[in-house]
Every structure is written in structure tokens, then in C-alpha cells.
Amino acid sequence: MADVAIILDASVTCLRSLEIHENRELGTKPKQQRDTKMATATEQPVFKRNREDIEKVIAEIEKEEAHRQRIKEMVVNAPSRRVNFTLTAHPFKNELIMFGGEFYDGRQTIVYGDMFFYNINKREWTLIKAPGAPPPRCGHQTVATTANGSGELWIFGGEFTSPSESQFYHYRDLWVFRFAEKKWEKITFLLIFYLMSEESLVERYEVSPGQKKISSRKVQSESVSKEEIELLSEGRLALVMLR
């Protein structure tokens, strides 16, 4: 049991490394980050209320996007002024893909969740609104790949802030936009590990980001992959990331 406790502690530590922003993703943003603002402090009850408010806003945005069924494409003027957006080269076409960003007008901050395709040959911007898009964000990271023959755009993390920038939220989510389907998908995952047990049984533990408890169950070793069994036979911890 002591060994199990040690491994559980190590696994939780590993999970926390995936959730490094979990305890920091919501809070009062230092105003020194913008030379037009001054530092303020937030009382704990107010912080808790604001935390719930900003989480609710983000959840509502994601819910609305999930219900979007139609794909809208329109040729538009150049995107509005912004910073902390991403501009990624299309893996197959002579195009650039812009996503997100933020703009501070001296009074409030606007965070964007729009996606534009810039055709370099035509010098033309196209706004695409696709089903299931991520919530607005800035400071995120994107990469385009040649996956599935037509390419994909992957997005991780970023920040959402209230208009006054008194509250902010750091994302740790992962999204993919498939160019052929023109649809978004949010990628979810589990941290799974196994421990050898008696009678050819294996103890399986599952942890999801944000999950308070670790669930466990015993499974037959036959249901575990050959590669995982090899790790287990060597007394090593088998970790698997699943969607």
C-alpha cells in the first residue's frame, strides 16, 4: 500500500504539471501590465464571485458555439486592430490563418475569437465561422499540420479577460480545426496508469484534468496492450494519454 501511495502521489504531481495554471487561471490581473492602469487588490468573497462569473461567461460562449450548425464564409476587410493573435501558414495553400487576439481602446479590453484566412495571391481576407469554435482568447499557441491529407490547425491555451481586465482566465484546453470539414473539435484526455496486482489482474487508475478524485478499478491483463504489459513487467509505470 505504501508503494501505491507513493505512485499515486507521483501521478497527482504529474497531473498537476498538466494543470500548472489551475490555481492561477482565475484571479486579479496586475494592472502594471498596462501602463494605463494601476494595481488593485480583490477581497476573497469578491474574487470568488468574479471567478464564478467569468467561468459562467466562458461556459456560455462554448455552449453557444457548440450549437452552431452552419458554416459561414464571407470576404471581408482586414481584421480590426489587435495584439497577441496568431498568424499561421496554411500547410498546403498560399494562405495565412489568423485567430483570436485582443485590443485595448483606453477604456476596456476586447478579446476576439474570430478566424480569418488571408489569400496571399488574391490579397483577400475571408472570415470563417465554423461549428464548435473555441471561446475568445489571446496569447494562445497554434500550429498547422498536414494531417488527414488536407491539413489541420491546432490551438492550445491562451487567456480570456474581462473588459476591465480586473479578472482573467488562463485556458489549458486543446482544439483542432480540420480544413476539409471546416469544423472544430475540442480534444479531451485522460491520464491513465496501471499497477500490477495479484492473479494477473492490473489496477487501472484514471485521472482527468480538474478531477478531484482518482477513480480506480481492476482489469484483466489481457485487456491491457502488449506494450503496456512490457512496461508493467519491468516494474515501470505505464502512462497513456487518450482522447
Q: Please give the average per-residue pLDDT across 125-132, as a whole number.
A: 94
45-104 per-position pLDDT tens digit: 444 445 557 777 777 777 776 666 789 999 999 999 999 999 999 999 999 999 999 999
Residue boundaries of the structural domains of the chain: 51-190
State the pLDDT at residue 70: 84
CATH fold for domain 51-190: Neuraminidase (2.120.10)
pLDDT above 70 covers what percent of the chain?
53
Mean pLDDT of the chain: 73
State the pLDDT at residue 59: 74
14-38 per-position pLDDT tens digit: 444 444 333 344 444 444 444 443 3
C-alpha 61: how far from chain center? 14
Give, in degrees to the nearest 5, the angle at Cα 147 between 144 and 148: 135
> Which residue type occupies 80?
S
C-alpha cell at 169: 482566465
CA dist 61 and 63 (Å) reads: 5
Least Cα distance to 161 among 111, 121, 196, 126 occurs for: 111
CA dist 176 and 134 (Å) reads: 9
CA dist 138 and 54 (Å) reads: 16
C-alpha cell at 73: 464564409
State the pLDDT at residue 119: 98
CA dist 119 and 97 (Å) reads: 9
C-alpha cell at 203: 489496477
State the pLDDT at residue 124: 98
pLDDT at 108 over 90: yes
Q: How many CB atoms neighbour CB 69 within 10 A?
A: 6
Please report the DSSP string for 30-96 in residue order.
Answer: PGGGSTT-------HHHHHHHHHHHHHHHHHHHHHHHT----EEEEESPPPS-BS-EEEE-SSSSEE
Eight-state DSSP code of residue 148: G
Residue with cell 495565412: 96
pTM value surpassing 0.85:
no
